Amino acid sequence: MKFYHKYILPVIVAAALTGCDKGFESLNTNPNASTVPQVDYLFTQSQLKGNYVYDRTYFYTSYLNCGNFIQHYATYKDVAGSGLGDKYGANDFYQGFYYRYIYTNAVNTVAEVIRNTQAANQINKQAAARIWKVLLMQRITDLYGDVPYSEAAKGYTDGVFTPKYDAQSDIYKAMLSELDAAINSFNTAQPTFASADLLYKGDITKWKKFGYSLMLRVAMRTTKVDAALAQQWAQKAITGGVITTDADAAVIKYTNGPQIYNDNPVAYELVGQDYTATAYGDANTEGGKYSKTFIDYLKTTNDPRLPVVAVIWNNKTPDTTSALQKGLPSGTGSKPANFPSYSEPNPNTILRYDAPLLVLTAAETNLLLSEVALRKWSAGDAAALYKAGVEAALRNWSLFGAGGVIAPASISTYSGAQALNVAGSFDDQMKQIHTQFWIALLLDEQEAYANWRRTGYPQLTPVNYPANATNGTIPRRFPYSQPEAGLNAVNYNAAVARQGADVLTTRIWWDKQ
């Protein structure tokens, strides 16, 4: 018996295991799991994740930092090194968050879509995904400068877990070429993402205009550092056809439920993290309000957007009376008396969970086209294009419900009063164009911050808060996510050596004085 147990039983077990080997793989395969990526679902996810969905990406990046840097917003919170924007503090948790989040979520996801749409009948899906990836990468490089681009999202396929940082000058040229190739690859005979595409439902004509408008944005970013490149690609974008009408704007619509993914992420984050509905303007979590700079400008110019975007709280009731609006001075270090009397986002427009998200509109493109014409790079009428941009920016608010509708007569009166001074100098006209850009892109804080760094308009007065990290100057970039210094040290160190110290004051490639 001992012999049997010691030798025969193992043989029987081994034989049994050998006999089962053929079916082992099938037994350990989930029959309900797909082995082929569902690219439609992945593309929708990348669009959602790329637009700050509910993971603090918008709140930390756009609101607390970019929006505070350019004085759309201000906060009274006094926390040394907190990273709150109007105190010019450095904090990896806030400023490195976008770097960590967008790569691991939106970029990886859209790269998977691109890899799995190589077949000829998938060309339109791949083209849209390539354009969307450029938008994501443009946002990343504009915040940090040199970043992984050519080796980004190659960990799964190529085992590249420590990607090199490409020089921003190379990234910009690559993005322009990528847009050109993607736009020209569309084929109306092939299927699209259809309803899985939150922007255009697969409309190829509109995707081309979106791609060319993004090309115009990227091209104009380089005006200070490579004017020839900017002119070349701006002209190509204009020839291709950019967004010039409201109907072609890139807008994601939300419905306020039934899931939080159906809620506008800007509203969801601002309400959840600062403008708590039951606070009535008094107990704001982060002490946030609109900046005095922003509110004063709207009041001084009799801007009809003021009651659309701002309220003060009067006996726990939101009051849109323009004369009562009051902004919080940037750099305020303690909670002011009668805090509810300071202006904050209107809960009936901006803070609506069913508000739209404006990704790229005719307001932005027409204002950029006005600059192109001002530079004599096109035959366009700078004043007419400027007027079109200003008026489109005011009309955009009608998408936010009845409280956002501005009467056509008011729009016409405002655009007439703010008409471009064509007799003024180049700088005078640039100031007008890009001050209007600053107002028009309220909520798109990353883009407004990037455009401010390129143009210098509006001319903002920085604050010099105690113990700030910039010696009293408005930050020029975000520091990298600090784990990179250890996990990807060789490439991180190479980027810092090439670009400059990994601090808030280092200017990136296109941000030249």
296: amino acid identity, one letter: D
In 145-245, where does DSSP find H-type helix?
Answer: 155-158, 168-185, 204-220, 227-240
What is the DSSP secondary structure assignment for residue 7, as one 8-state letter? I
| Gyration radius of the chain's alpha carbons | 26
* Domain 39-241+471-508: assigned CATH number: 1.25.40.390
User: What's the pLDDT score for residue 417?
Assistant: 98
Position 229 confidence tier, pLDDT thresholds 50, 70, 90 = very high
Note whether 149 and 491 are within 8 A (CB): no
Tell me phi and psi for residue 298, to 5 degrees.
-60, -40
Q: Where in the chain is the domain with CATH 1.25.40.390?
A: 39-241+471-508
pTM value is 0.92
- Averaged pLDDT, 217-223: 98
pLDDT in tens, 27-77: 455 555 556 789 999 999 889 887 765 568 899 999 999 999 999 999 998
Over residues 203-224, the mean pLDDT reads 98
Cα distances from 453 to residues 83, 223, 291, 477, in angstroms, run 19, 12, 18, 9
pLDDT per position as a tens digit, 453-503: 999 999 999 999 998 999 999 999 999 999 999 999 999 999 999 999 999
- What does pLDDT average to over the chain? 91
Residues 153 and 222: their CA atoms lie apart, in Å, by 26
Kindly tell me if the per-residue pLDDT of 182 is higher than 90. Answer: yes
- pLDDT, residue 57, reads 87
b/e code 368-399 from CB counts within 10 Å (16+ = b) = bbbbbbbbebbebebbebbbbbbbbbbbbbeb
Distance, in Å, from the CA atom of 236 to the CA atom of 233, rounded to the nearest integer, reads 5
Measured CA to CA in angstroms, residue 144 lies from 46, 79, 114, 128, 358 at distances of: 21, 24, 24, 25, 23
Q: Which pLDDT does position 4 carry in this prediction?
A: 35
The 10 Å Cβ neighbour count of residue 116 is 17
Q: Provide, rounded to the nearest whole percent, the portion of the chain with pLDDT above 90.
A: 83
- Residue 50's pLDDT is 74
Degrees to nearest 5, angle at CA 132 with 126 and 135: 150
pLDDT value at residue 53: 56
In the predicted model, what is the mean pLDDT of residues 415-441?
98
